[in-house]
Amino acid sequence: MNSHEIDYKIYGDDMQFVEIELDPQETVVAESGAMMMMDEAIEMETIFGDGSEKNNSIMGKLFSAGKRVLTGESLFMTAFTNTKEGKKHVSFASPFPGSIIPVDLSEYNGKVVCQKDSFVCAAKGVEIGIEFTKKLGAAFFGGEGFVLQKLEGDGLAFIHAGGTLYKKDLQPGEVLKVDTGSLVAFTNSVDYDIERVGGIKNSLFGGEGFFFVRLEGPGTIWVQSLPISRMAGRLFSLVPGNGGKRRGEGGILGGLGDLIDGDND
């Protein structure tokens, strides 16, 4: 294996965290700020790029960091290494209520594509890059579908899903249409594209947004019931000064409704 072989245990139900067990000199890489607690023997180091062998050269690190800028992430990641004898532990917490999903990339032909905000941590050696959709114009207006993250390698990676997680194995030719924010991840064998919601009434008054993701099997997909964008919208509507009103999730009726109600100050 090119990636470090790490062990893990997931704790909790609604607000989960994952505890990574590291043998001497084993390393796990995570987004900055994801760490919850760690043993004293764990050494924390900020790295440029993802620390994978493929991106270990100067140009590889620069290219990897550039890709992270496009996804809106920090230029740097954090590596946690067991520098002492014996097994040591470091834990990473989920950013909001939901489930942490362990993904063994060796079981999925070495590649899984996920939402850019869902990645939690991975064994050192896993390459963390970007995956552009096929229709950049539609993807740009589709919000979350514009840039997806790809995890490549043969090690363990951990991603987070909001709310309830639904995992489905698509059969060859089977098609499922998913809200762009609700899609968490899918395997490399799944054919995907972003499509426009049909009908002007559906787009303007349906409240579901203008685009969805079309997924065609074979392959595995992971879907979440509580996208972070939806939860943030609900919380924002409760902030004093916003009138406590429900805002439109995806269509343009939210602002239009405020004008009709007289809330145009």
DSSP 15: B
Task: Residue count of the chain, please give it.
Answer: 265
pLDDT at position 177, please? 93
- Using CA atoms, how far apart are residues 36 and 117, in angstroms rounded to an integer? 18
The whole-number pLDDT of residue 60 equals 62
Rg, C-alpha atoms of the chain: 20
* 3-class secondary-structure state, position 181: coil
Distances from the Cα of 240 to the Cαs of 80, 166, 262, in angstroms?
41, 34, 18
**Contact (Cβ atoms closer than 8 angstroms) between residue 161 and residue 99:** yes
Measured between alpha carbons, how far apart are the two ends of the chain, in Å?
Answer: 61
Query: What pLDDT does residue 207 have?
Result: 47
Please tell me whether residue 155 adopts helix, strand or coil conformation. Answer: coil
Let me know: does 80 contact 47? Beta carbons within 8 Å: no
CA angle 160, 228, 64 (to 5 degrees): 60
- CATH superfamily placement of domain 7-231: Mitochondrial biogenesis AIM24 (3.60.160.10)
Task: Parse the chain into domains and list their residue ranges.
Answer: 7-231
Q: How far is CA 121 from CA 79, 249, 254, in A?
A: 10, 30, 36
**Rounded CA gap, 132 and 138, in Å?**
12
Nearest to 103 by CA among 153, 169, 57: 153
Q: What is the pTM of this model?
A: 0.77
Query: Which SS3 state, helix, strand or coil, does residue 207 take?
Result: coil
Partnered with residue 177 across adjacent β-strands are 214
Angstrom distance (rounded) from CA 148 to CA 161: 15
Cis peptide before 240 (omega within 30 of 0): no
pLDDT along the chain (265 residues), means of 10: 89 92 95 90 86 64 63 76 96 90 95 89 90 56 61 94 93 93 92 73 49 91 81 60 50 43 49
**CB distance 77 to 49 below 8 Å:** yes
For residue 69, what pLDDT is reported?
Answer: 66
pLDDT at 206: 44
The CB density around residue 237, as the number of other CB atoms within 10 Å, is: 14
| In the block, residue with structure tokens 């363990």 | 156
The predicted pLDDT at position 254 comes to: 46
Burial classification of residue 250, based on how many CB atoms lie within 10 Å of its CB (0-12 exposed, 13-18 middle, 19 or more buried): buried
